[in-house]
Amino acid sequence: MSKLLEWTLLYVIDKENDKILLGEKQRSVCKGFWNGIGGKKNPGETIEEAMIRECQEEANITPKQYEKRGIIHYEKYINGEKTFGNMHVYIAFDYEGIVKDSDELKLQWVKREDLKYKAFTPGDELWLPDLLQGYMVDAFLKFNKNNVLVENKIYKSQTKSTIFEPKTFDSTNSAGKNLA
């Protein structure tokens, strides 16, 4: 019998320094892979509540300025059991707390241009670049029993958001007067 799971995944973005908070998984089927912060939705929780709880548990932070930017539908085997799931993907630009490793994640701020050097969960390379460029993503990933990706469909929004642009200093105030 197969299961349907709901998961959350959050990427915290430091626009000022063009860095993204990533965690190296320390356990579970994803051990050794890099990813954002997230995990399984508990019964009775909303997706948003699950995302916030996972951030608190895995990184000691509470996201403040965040938005949902994608959903990844998947079919894979977990502990030999066929599993269907929906990964609700968020981005955040602000949080409260001090980033701290947990027994689940070893955390690191990574410059955007260095992302290619990290080993991400299989399939992430198909949709994550679009998400981090400001597109909304909707994807389907199907894995075989050996966790090999055998089918995928990736969709992205027609337009991209400028909220992902690195923050630049504006030397004028709201009245248009030069402050420099």
Dump pLDDT digits (tens) for 33-71. 999 999 999 999 999 999 999 999 999 999 998 999 999
**pLDDT attached to residue 54:** 97
Beta bridge pairs of residue 70: 89, 137
Give dist(CA 17, CA 36) in Å, integer. Answer: 18
Coil vs helix vs strand at 54: helix
Stronger pLDDT, 50 or 80, i.e. the higher one: 50
Average pLDDT over residues 138-149: 94
**pLDDT attached to residue 169:** 35
**pLDDT attached to residue 149:** 95
Count the residues in the chain: 180
Read off the pLDDT of residues 87-98 as tens digits, 9 standing for 90 and up.
Answer: 999 999 999 999
Band (pLDDT 50/70/90 cuts) for residue 173 is: very low
Please check whether residue 131 is in contact with residue 138, taking contact to mean a CB–CB distance below 8 angstroms: no
In this structure, the number of other CB atoms found within 10 A of the CB of residue 63 comes to 23
Q: Is the pLDDT of residue 73 over 90?
A: yes
**pLDDT attached to residue 165:** 59
**pLDDT attached to residue 4:** 87
**pLDDT attached to residue 1:** 57
**pLDDT attached to residue 46:** 97
Q: Is the pLDDT of residue 170 over 50?
A: no
**pLDDT attached to residue 102:** 95
Give dist(CA 131, CA 89) in Å, integer. Answer: 9
Least confident of 37-41, 81-85, 117-121, 137-141: 117-121
Question: Considering the domain 3-160 in this protein, what is its CATH number?
Answer: 3.90.79.10
pLDDT over 90, % of the chain: 69
**Under 8 Å CB-to-CB from 136, ≥6 apart: which residues?**
69, 70, 156, 157
Specify the pTM: 0.85
**pLDDT attached to residue 163:** 63
